[in-house]
Amino acid sequence: MKVLKDQNKRMINTEEINNNTNADNDDIRDKIKKLIKKKNYNLRDLSRNIKKNDAYLQQYLYRGTPKVLPEEYRFMLAEILDVDVNELIPNWLKDLSSQEQFFIIKNIENKIDNINQISFSKELLIGLEFFNVENLHYFQTSISNNHITTIVDISIKKFIQPDIYLLNDKKNYFLATIELSKFSKGKLSVKPYLNNFSPFQIDSNFLNISGKILWQCSKILK
């Protein structure tokens, strides 16, 4: 009986944390909506300006997907909306303490000149859908003065919905936005994240997907 009580207590605490987190996330969405309306911006154009698909901000603001705007896009959006980026950070993320729980994520490339594992906060994955922490790996991309860290679920090896995926061509990994082709039935439209790769269309059976992106952030290099 004591075990059941303890389990119920943990469940209640988890529910309270999730409710507070969701409320914080909704507050940020409302703030962004007001800023967009005040400046008379178009959601589709804003999505393109932060290098996402046309419906990205529409889905984030009105459908709650993703639940938390990744750091990289939060910085871009704050710059466009001319607002301090801290105003777009939910309180629960600001309040992460030094006692938060961490787990180790391995580098998917596993190259000699890379850091092959990182310590990652469990709090940053709240609300994201994945089945097993052991399936999570990270991948890093450098563009201009940004160093982008991406968390990848390697259990997903096929296209399931329009999103960013990690692809590889003979062990050369790269990020790409994938969606159903509007021009060729049964094919996928692939737009690589970096401009040095050209967009292409391909049959889904021939696309080598290494994982689906769960989370991204960027760090400005000094």
pLDDT at 60: 92
Tell whether 140 and 177 lie within a shared domain: yes
Residues 6 or more apart from 83 whose CB is under 8 A from it? 35
Beta bridge partners, 176, equal: 165, 192
Q: What is the CATH number of the domain that holds 112?
A: 2.10.109.10
Q: What is the pLDDT of residues 72-117, one digit of tens each?
A: 788 889 888 988 888 888 887 776 544 557 778 889 987 766 667 7
pLDDT above 70 as % of the chain: 84
Q: Which residues contact 139 (CB under 8 A, 6 or more apart)?
A: 107, 108, 109, 149, 150, 152, 166, 173, 175
Q: Which residues constitute the domain of residue 10?
A: 2-94
Number of domains in the chain: 2
DSSP-assigned letters across all residues of 90-108:
-HHHHT--TT--EEEEEES
Last residue in a domain, options 57, 74, 94: 94
Last residue of a domain, one of 94, 114, 145: 94
Q: Mean pLDDT over all residues of the chain?
A: 81
Residues 210 and 162 both lie in one domain:
yes
CA distance 77 to 125: 21
- Whether 174 has a pLDDT exceeding 70, the answer reads yes
Element (H, E) at 40: none
Residue 129 pLDDT level (bands cut at 50, 70, 90) = confident
Q: Give the domain-ending residue among 40, 74, 94.
A: 94
Rounded CA-CA distance 162/189 in Å is 10
